[in-house]
Amino acid sequence: MAPVLKTADELEIMRQAGRIVAIAHEEMRRAIKPGVATKLLDTIALTVLRDNGAEPCFLGYAPGDHPPFPATITASVNNELVHGIPSEKRVLQEGDVIGIDVACFFQGYVGDAAFTHPVGEISRSAQRLLKATETALEAAIQASVLGNRISDVAKATAKCAGRLGYSVAREYTGHGVGREMHEEPQVPNWWHSKRSKHQWTDYDLQVGMTYAIEPMLIAGRSDLVEQDDGWTVVTKDGSLTAHFEHTVAITEDGPRILTLP
């Protein structure tokens, strides 16, 4: 199935959906500090979404054999890469890093973005990882121009991560965004060789393509394992991870970030 191209009117609604997600990010960033339970951040996000006429995409989401996701945000701390479940019992500690992903439906369209944030003072190595992941996202956004293909976007992420000394999550990818939270194309953070187990479909970038780019960088090895809760993905070696994400549109004038406040 080819990527669904969006009209200017559709992009405008998606920008509004993205803006609501970005406002939720800002509110949560303000609340992140030692002693705060991840459940509080979830409540903040849900309130922002509903106050702005949006609904959470993740709440009740149950793809494949996953149990329904019970929250608005995914909150993934330290070695948790993605899909952490917010909880009253998960209390942030000084020196943690927390990755938060939020997606919302607004007037039939999706906005999807994620960020990773320090809790109090964090180590120099954790600061470097966060910075590197943002830099990789920026590189992939810059590669999202006409004349390039999805593989160029993926390679931009991989190259940046490699240059800065990090591995990328191989099994998890960015994705087309529109009326659905997950559309074509998949936007991986690396590109396969002929012999890889993963084989992504490559597409020429076209005006009106909209996708979420989401580098997930890992300080150690890229082997991952899913926890017994059916969702939380952690690094096998316990190493630190970071995740940043924007939804972007391909335009004549270059990439347009749809998830800004």
Binding interface with Mg ion (CB under 5 A): 101, 112, 114, 245
Cα-Cα-Cα-Cα dihedral sign, residues 70, 177, 82, 51: negative
- The C-alpha angle with vertex 248 and arms to 38 and 56, in degrees rounded to 5, equals 35
Decide whether 58 or 190 has the Cβ nearer to Mg ion: 58
Decide whether 114 or 143 has the Cβ nearer to Mg ion: 114
246/223 Cα distance (integer angstroms): 24
Other C-beta atoms lying within 10 Å of the C-beta of residue 29: 13
Decide whether 83 or 170 has the Cβ nearer to Mg ion: 83
CB of 214 to Mg ion, least distance (A): 6
Kind of pairing between the strands at 97-106 and 73-77: antiparallel
104/18 Cα distance (integer angstroms): 8
Decide whether 174 or 255 has the Cβ nearer to Mg ion: 174
Structure tokens at 143: 């590669």
CB of 246 to Mg ion, least distance (A): 9
75/95 Cα distance (integer angstroms): 16
115/131 Cα distance (integer angstroms): 11
| Nearest one of 73, 1, 82 to 37, comparing CA atoms | 73
CB of 124 to Mg ion, least distance (A): 28
Decide whether 29 or 221 has the Cβ nearer to Mg ion: 29
Decide whether 3 or 111 has the Cβ nearer to Mg ion: 111
Decide whether 10 or 101 has the Cβ nearer to Mg ion: 101
CB of 74 to Mg ion, least distance (A): 8
CB of 80 to Mg ion, least distance (A): 15
- Would you report the helix, strand and coil content of the chain in percent, each value rounded to 5? 25, 25, 45
Residues 6+ apart with CB under 8 A from 107: 13, 16, 17, 53
CB of 137 to Mg ion, least distance (A): 12
